[in-house]
Structure 1
Amino acid sequence: MDLLLLITLALLCSCGPINTDPVFQIASVTLSIEPRAAVRRNTNVTLRCQANVISLAQLNREYTLYKDNSIIYNKSTSSKEDLLYHLPEARVSNNGRYKCMVRIMGQEMTSKSEKLTVTGMSQPILRVDKSRTTEGEDLTVRCMAPGETGSFFFYLYDNSSEIYDEHRNTNQAEIKLHLSDVGAHVIHCIYKVFILSESVTSDESNTVIVTVEELSIKPVLEISPVDNIYEGDNLTIKCSFRGFNQSHKEINLLLNQGTSLLSVGNATAAIEYNMMAEATASMLSFDCRLTVKNLIKVITKTIRVTELFSVPQLIMSPPQVFQMKPMTLICKSQHVATERINKEDLTYSLDPAEHFLTPNGAGIFSGKALKNEFNYTCIAEAKGIRKRSRTLTISPKVPVSVPSIWVADWPILGESFRIFCQSSKGSGPIDYTFWEGTKQIGAPIIKSFGQAAYLSVVINDVKEINLFTCKANNGGEEDQQSAALDTAVIEPVTDPILTVVPDPV
C-alpha cells in the first residue's frame, strides 16, 4: 500500500503545472424577432438573442444588442437562458436592423442582422389658440403626434401649400404663425419620423379654418406733380396713413425708391419728402410702407420722367489715327427735349481737358493724336444736370517703317527660292506686297507686327535679282517701299566641252 502511494505521488510530481482555464466554444448566436419581423403599430415585440455554448462549466456571458450598428443594450449574466429585449407597443421609430453579440472570456460571436418593420402611425392632431384673428396678429399652432417616439419633422400647410417646417425630438411642435392674407385659411399638419437616412410620413391631421380679418388702417402715397415731369423738376412725395385708432400702436412709415430708403415716419409724423426728378430710368417707382406690429402694408406708385437730354456719345474721326496725326473728337447727345431747353443751353466739355485738343464748335474738339494711348470722357450739361459719356480709349497707330528685303540662302538660277520682307516698326496688321520692277507679284500678305512675309520666286538671269522690291502699309496714306534686293546669285556649271589644241591633222 505504501509502495502504491509513492508511485502515485511520483507521477503527480512529474506532470508539471496544471491548466485550470475552462475549455469552451461559442457554437452559434442567433437573433429572432417575435412575434414576427413585420408588425403593426402597438404590437408588443420581443428580440430574442440565443447563444449556444459548448462547455463543462457555467460561464459568464456578455450580451450586446445593436440597432443599425449602434449599441442599445448591454447585459452580463451567467445564466444559460436566452436574452430577451422587449419593445412594448412598437412604433415606427423602432424600425431598423438588429443584431446580437456574445462575448465570453475574450471569445466573441455576432448574429446575423434581422430587420424589424413597424407600420402604422397615429394621425397628427392640430390645435390653434383662436379661429379668428386680424392682420398682423400671431397665431399659436400646435401639431402633435400622439403616442409616437423618435426624431420628428413637423410640416404645416396653409391651403395645401407648405408654409413651415421644424425639427423636434419630442412628439409635438408649437409654432408662432403669422397669416398676412385676409380671408379664410385652411390649416393642417403632418409629421415624419426619421430613422437614419429614411423617413416615414404620417397621414394628414385634422383641418382647422382660421379667418384673418383686414385691419382698417392703410398707407397713403401722394406724388406731385403726377404727369408731364422732366428730369430736374421738383417732386413732393407724401407718405401717410388713414384708418387710425387707439389700438394701432407702434406704427412706422417708410418711404423708399427701389432699395434706397428716402425717409421714415411714425404715428404722429407723416412723411413729406422733396427731391429733384432724375431720369435714371424712364419710369420711377416709389413705395410707402406701413408697419403695424408684424403687419406690413405697401402702396406703390410709378411716374414717368422725361429726360432733358440723353447721355452723350463720344466718337473719334477718323476711326483710326496715327501718332501725331490730326484727329477730331465729337461729343453729342442724340435726344434733346427742345420743348424744355434750347440746344444752345446744352454745353459739352472733355475730361481731362488738357490733352492738347481745342474746341472747334459745339461738342467738337480737334488736335493731334499723342504718341501713347490715352482716355477721354465727354460731359454734357444743362440746367444743373451733368451726364458723362462712356470712356473712349484712343490707341494711336505707329506708322510702318521702310521694310527690309532679303533672302535666307543664296539663290540659284533656275531654282525656287524665298524672298523675305519685314518692317522693324509699325502697328499691325501690316500688308506686304512683292514687286518685280513695276509689276506686283502674288497677292498681298497680311502679317502682325514682328512677323516677316515671304514669297517663292524663280529667276533665270542674274540681272533679274535686282528687280525685286517689297512694300508695306498698315493703313497710312502712302506705302513704304524697300530698296532693291541685292544679293549674290549662284550660276550652275554648264556641261563641259572637250577641245584639242592644236587641232588634229
Structure 2
Amino acid sequence: MFYKNDVSVYNITSGRANTTFTISPARVSSSGIYKCQVDVEGKSRSKELEIRVTGVSPPKIHIRKTEVKEGEDVSVTCEAPEEDPPLFFTFYKFQDSKIVSQKSRSATNQKSLQVNFPIEKGDKILRFNCDVKVGYVSDEAKSSLSEGKFVTVTEPFSTPRIEVSPSTNFTEGINMLIKCSVQKPPPSSSYNETVEITIQKDKEILKSSTTESVIFSQLATVKEMGDYTCKAETKKTWKSSSVFIAIAELFARPRLSVNGKDNLNEGDRLSLMCEVPGLSSNVSKNQNFYLLKNKDFRQKMILGKHSTTVKEKDSGSYLCEVTISNITKRSDPVNIRVHAAVSKPILTQSQNNNRMVVAGETLILNCICSSGTLPITYSLYRGEQFVGRVNKTDKAPAVFMVNVTKSDDLGEYRCHATNRNTLSNQFSDSINITVITPVDKVHFLTIPEGTIEEGTELGLSCSVENGTFPIEFKFYFKKGKEEILINVTKTNAHHAKYIISSFNKEEDGGYFCRASNQAKHSVSTEPIAMKAVLAKWKKGVLSAFIIFIILAVIVISLYFYLDRKKKGQRITLDKARTSKTSDVNHDKATLELKNEDSYYGSMQNEDENHVLKHSEENIGNDHENNEVEYTEVEVDAASPLRDASLNNAHTTEDSPNSI
C-alpha cells in the first residue's frame, strides 16, 4: 500500500518481492511525504520518503470578445488543466506594456476561474494575461504568464466638441452662445445606450439634452466669465471638453454711499449717492439711476442722489441700479437703521399690583414701553441705587425679579428705558413698594393662670415679637369647637388685650390667640386651660352653713340625751314601786300555788331569760301604762322541775332584799 501524506493513493496485492507506483506526469501538487507499507503473514513494515516537485505549467487564457466599447466589460477565463487544486489565479490587464489593473482569486475545488474587467475611458488596445500558483505556500510553485490575449476598444461616441460665439474673449453687453456636440454610433450598431450632453459652468448645469448637440445662450456680463465644460455620458462612461471664456467689463458696478451714518434717529436727514467708478460725470448725467429698498421699493434718483427725512419705517436694505447698453448692474446693499425714541415706560408689579411684598419672597416688576425701536434696554432703580438691567429684542415687557430679604428693600422703584436712538432717555413713574414682615413668635398670657374665682375678671394678652402693622389679633375660646371672642387690629402696637369681666363655670375651657398681618401668614398659640372655682364669700357662707348644721346636730343630740336621762330616772322610781307591789302579790300567789299545785315565777332557762330581758327593755314603754304583765305557768305536781323552780323563785325574790 502506498500513502501520500497518510492518505492511501495506491493498493496492490502481489506475490513478487517488489512493486512500483508511477506518477506521470509529476506536478507540484504531487509533492508530499510518501510511505510504502508491506503486510506479510500478519507482519507489516513501512518506510517514509519526502518527494518535492518543482515547476508549474503555464495556464491557458480565454477571452469571450476581442472588440469592445467603452463602458462594457471583458470576461477573462484562466485555466490550469494539468494542476490540482487548490489553485490561486492572478489576472493582468496591460496597456502599452504597463499593468493598469490586476485581480487575484482562489479556486479550492476547480481548475479554472473567470473574472470581468470594465473598459474605462481612455482604454485603447488592451492585453490580458494570467498565472497560477499551486497551494498558498511560496512563489516557487508559481507558473509563468499565460499566452497574451488582445482586446480592441472602440468609442461609443466621440469626445464632445465645444464652440463659443462670438469668441472666448469679448466685452460684456452682447449675447454669448455656447454649443456642445458629439458623434454617436449609427442606429444600425449594437450600441443602444442613451448619451446625455450637458453644459456646465463650474459645477452648475446650465443646459442638457439627449440629442447630438445642446446650445446655451444669454446676455454676457462679467459675472458670466469662467470655465465652461461640455460633458457627454452614459451609465458606464463619460467624456468631456472644457473652455475658459474671458469677458471684459463694460462698466464697473455702481457704488452706493451714505452721507453720514447708517444708524439714524427718527427725524434725521438721510442722504444717499450712487455713482459708477471710472465713468465720467458727463456720461453719468445721461444715465438713469434707481434706488431700491428691500427689493420691493424702486425710486428714480436725481443725478444719482436721494435725500429724505427718515422715519422708523424707512429702515431697510438699500441698493442702487444703473443700466448701460442693456447691461444692468446693482451696487452692494447698504443697511439703514432708523431708531424711533422709546415712549415713557410703565412699571407695574406682577403679582397683585398692591405695591406690597412679603419679606423673604420675590418682588416681580414688569417694565414696558408702548413704542420704540428694538432692542430696548430697561434698567431698574431703587431710589438712586441701580438694581438690574434687561435687554429686550421683542415687544414683551422686561421682567425684574428682586429678592426682598430686609426692610431696606422697601422704597421707590422706577424703570429707565433707552435704545439706539441717541435722544431716547425715559424714566417711568415711581412706585412705592412696602416690605411686609410676617408676624413671628406669638405669646399668649392669662391673668390669673389656670384657675380663677367665679365672678372675677380674667385678662387675656396676646403679643408678637415681629410683624409689620397693622396686626390682627384674634382671641379664641375652645370647648369642643373653636369660638372667636374678639378680633382686634393694632396699627401701632405688637400686643392686644381682652378682658372677661365676670368669669363663670360655663366659660371653663381652653383659650388661645392667633395673630396675622397683610403677609397672609397667621400664627396661633397653644390653648391654655382655664377653670372657674368658688368665690371666697361663697366659701364663707358654705362654711358657716356647715358649722350651723354641726351645732344644730349637737344641740339636738344633747336635748335627746338629757330627755332620755330624765326618763330613765322616772323609770327607776316606777320599778321600785312595782317591786313592792310584786312582793305582796307574790306572797299571795305562793299560798295559792301551794293549794292549787300552781307556781308563778320565771323558769331559769334561755327562753325565760329572753322574756325577762325583753320585758326590761320595754319597761319604759310599759311604765306609761303603769301595767305589769304576768305569766301564768302551770306545773304538774309530779314534775321533777318543781322543786328546782321553787328554789329559783326564792333566789330571785331574795335578791333585792339582800341587796
Q: TM-score range by the shorter chain?
A: 0.3 to 0.5
* TM-score, with length taken from structure 1: 0.45
Q: Give the structure with the higher percent strand.
A: 1
RCO higher in structure (CA 8 A, sep ≥6): 1
Larger Rg: 2
Which structure shows the bigger proportion of residues in helix conformation? 2
**Which TM-score applies when normalising by structure 2?**
0.36
